[in-house]
Amino acid sequence: MAAMAIKATTRRIPGRRRPYPALMQTPDVHTIEDLKTWAAAGRAAIDPKPILAVIGKPVAHSLSPQLHQAALDQFGIEGQYIRIEVEPGAVRQAFDLMAGLGFTGCNVTVPHKVEALQAVDEADTLAQRIGAVNTVLFQDDLKLGFNSDGPGLVRAIREEFSVDLKDLRVMILGAGGGAGRAAAVQCALENCERVVLVNRTTDKATDLAAELRTMLHGTPVLGPRSRIQALPLDPRKIEAQLDALDLVINATSVGLKPTDPPLLPAAILQPHLLVYDLIYKPARTRLLRDAAAAGCRGANGLSMLLHQGVVSFGHWFGDEPDPNPMRQALMDA
């Protein structure tokens, strides 16, 4: 890309505290090649200077630039947050290049969160337990890894339902995927009374259940039931659990497409349940519509996206931003 083409032009948007770069208005995606040729291609002239990024593949859809720009603006930090498409296997190289260019840090999204754990110099305990890194801080020649997904979920559940995750009995649909694993580990660390792990490929849920039992405090069984239980994605087996659960989390990708079949039969949903769908686009999945029809309270994953961002920002800059302008930025986007 030619230097002139990428030089950020600015325009005033009413209500913005400072010029907003045109780069942020379009789903602009950078590449590893861009990072390698940054200065030679004139990218050092980009104003505000990119200091944060999200790496993933695909990454064009990510709302993280809008989310974090609202946080940067709050603190008056000159800099912008960009998207970088990175191929599997190139995560460490991407970190090295960003660190060399003076980036503060980055977020890591699908499919790189597990690779990122191997690519950082150090990871905190939570990231190690989740087995994935979604936030990296470049500090003193070190790449430090964190995971803000679990803490983001805790805050999202508190915000949406005015209850604490630790006080809920939880079923996680799709516990075998990356997002489901993060939610499940967080539930175990919160010492939830019960965690039921549901997965289409049952072995993944069974293996995770064994791992999570080691993270619980206190008794691993309650009455006749194990506090952590694995189940296949079988409606009858799921239905048999629901009367003794409070929260159902969808961490599968089912619902992303309008044509997706229902994940669960609507008839098994009960009105006492809270239903949290990690999917936020579409805003109301089939599961959330069925839950509302059954009298359940439900919410989508926009609040988790918001709060994981707040926690990530705290890792980068020490202070956490006010979530409200960030929420507004997500809604605008």
Residue 166 is a catalytic residue: no
* Helices and strands: H and E segment counts in the chain: 13, 17
Report which secondary-structure segment, H or E, holds 297.
strand 297-300
Please identify which residue in 7, 49, 158, 200 interacts with ligand ATR, judged by CB under 6 A: 200
Using the rule CB under 6 A, is 199 a contact of ligand ATR?
yes
Q: How far is CA 267 from CA 238, 259, 294, in A?
A: 12, 20, 8
Please identify which residue in 191, 201, 324, 328 interacts with ligand ATR, judged by CB under 6 A: 201
Using the rule CB under 6 A, is 176 a contact of ligand ATR?
yes
Using the rule CB under 6 A, is 177 a contact of ligand ATR?
yes
Length of the chain: 333
In angstroms, what is the minimal distance from the CB of 145 to ligand ATR?
Answer: 18
Residue of 152, 148, 146 whose CA lies nearest to 165: 152
Please identify which residue in 119, 126, 144, 179 interacts with ligand ATR, judged by CB under 6 A: 179
Dihedrals phi, psi of 91, to nearest 5 degrees: -70, -45
The stretch among 29-37, 128-136, 151-159, 173-181 that binds ligand ATR (CB under 6 A) is 173-181
Residue type for position 42: G
Which three-class secondary structure state does DSSP give residue 111? coil
For ligand ATR, the closer CB: 41 or 110: 110
Residue of 241, 182, 194 whose CA lies nearest to 218: 194
Using the rule CB under 6 A, is 178 a contact of ligand ATR?
yes
- Strand bridging mode 221-222 / 225-226: antiparallel
Please identify which residue in 233, 279, 291, 310 interacts with ligand ATR, judged by CB under 6 A: 233
- Strand bridging mode 274-277 / 297-300: parallel
Contact 168, 246 (CB under 8 A): yes
In angstroms, what is the minimal distance from the CB of 256 to ligand ATR?
Answer: 9
In angstroms, what is the minimal distance from the CB of 110 to ligand ATR?
Answer: 5
Residue type for position 88: P
Q: Report DSSP state, residue 45.
A: G
Token readout for 152 is 């983001």
Using the rule CB under 6 A, is 74 a contact of ligand ATR?
no
In angstroms, what is the minimal distance from the CB of 186 to ligand ATR?
Answer: 15
Exactly one of 113, 143, 204, 257 is catalytic; which is it? 113
Provide the H-helix boundaries in 43-177.
Answer: 64-75, 91-100, 113-119, 125-130, 149-161
Using the rule CB under 6 A, is 204 a contact of ligand ATR?
yes
The stretch among 69-77, 78-86, 199-207, 288-296 that binds ligand ATR (CB under 6 A) is 199-207
Which residue's structure tokens are 């999570």? 212
Query: 289 exposed, middle or buried (CB, 10 Å; 0-12, 13-18, 19+)?
Result: middle
In angstroms, what is the minimal distance from the CB of 254 to ligand ATR?
Answer: 5
Contacts with ligand ATR by CB under 6 A: the residue count is 16
Using the rule CB under 6 A, is 128 a contact of ligand ATR?
no
Using the rule CB under 6 A, is 24 a contact of ligand ATR?
no
Please identify which residue in 10, 93, 139, 253 interacts with ligand ATR, judged by CB under 6 A: 253
In angstroms, what is the minimal distance from the CB of 262 to ligand ATR?
Answer: 10
The stretch among 126-134, 171-179, 275-283, 296-304 that binds ligand ATR (CB under 6 A) is 171-179
Give the separation between CA 53 and CA 288, rounded to whole angstroms.
31
Binding site for ligand ATR (CB under 6 A): 110-111, 174, 176-180, 199-201, 204, 233, 252-254
Active-site positions read: 113
